[in-house]
Structure 1
């Protein structure tokens, strides 16, 4: 694997278009100074920067593994931005989100993935189940698939609920080595018959160097001096260690997914 360093562009938000009420964290469609529309995730929302960190890590690992993810950018929000917003709740959110936020390229005309309508082949299903087991993404269920169909291709969105261990950092080293119990609710699990094959392929692509490169993208000011970390760098290294440790015991979550699938079918 080459030492390609992933980069994220930074855009400035120039227009708040409309809130997306289906998200618990009040994401919005916004226009940036590059004239594109984005789904904007706010640092001032309920889960704060943790959801943005999960979104960045999950999305960029997915992209590295060859899955389709809309471009992720840093989105700068000027402090004057919320003053003209008539909705008080949104105004508060904008005020709390001054500075660097995360935004995902808006796929205009995309429709929500429906497993009843669209068949997914075993390989793609296995790849997505493997990814979500690695990053402990609890949010890819039949109720909320967090996948879109765009130009007849499947796109992954919304990884903000992944890496849920970081909401408390309790015994995270131990959690890294556990199977992913919530895989039993994964919308694609029944189609994921090739997880072992995918595991071999993905472990050849994703190694420590690639994990470090992706985690290094996290801005320092998102890594609040959050217990138990004394610095942004120590906090960043904990994400690296969690993912590297999880990858080293991928057979545990692969077996967990296969067992859950056998129980399902």
Structure 2
């Protein structure tokens, strides 16, 4: 029985405190908590303070957890929105850069003073074929547009290559860097002529050996020679002399030429409707 009383007394005390609290809340709500009731209310608040603090300490982490869960979801949505906005901004920047590059490429095609009044056909590069054995690009113009095999291909800065195959709507261009490409050239200012050959991607053109007495210097401009029956009209810029070397005791010198056109960045080209005379 003693054990029962020790167990029941705390329960009775807790029940009494709860009933007292309810009574005080009711009276306070009705505006009747005055006098002795105010004193009792003050005492009960002091009595319940430790219980309220303990309950708050227990429930606050739970509330913070659920608040964090909902807040995390909102952050995820906001992060997704910002990532999409960043992707859209980058795509817009790339499109603007592409448009500007195309605009400059088209403007560059208008700088063809070296062609004179020879008719031309504008075309867009649609594919590339770069390898150690072949250096070609394909364009979106063919026989229907007046493009024919053998025609020179240029941009504003100079020679790109020549047409080696033409269908009705497409054509293939052999670039000056292709190992099978050859072009008759003239050195400026000396006026000496020779032949330049492609050596592959990212490599300088080589020139047939010249007499060691031929005046040629690094930086000299190289253009098409345009000699009789040449497949290229004269005065098309080809490149600049990159190096000149002569072996000790040799009678000839070796000349290497840097192509004047950046063949890796072709967007638009012009086909010169030239027929050798």
- When Rg is computed on C-alpha atoms for both structures, the one with the higher figure is 2
Give yes or no for TM over 0.5. no
The structure where strand makes up a greater share of residues is 2
TM-score normalised by length of structure 2: 0.23
Using CA pairs under 8 Å that are at least 6 residues apart, name the structure with larger relative contact order, 1 or 2: 1
TM-score normalised by length of structure 1: 0.24
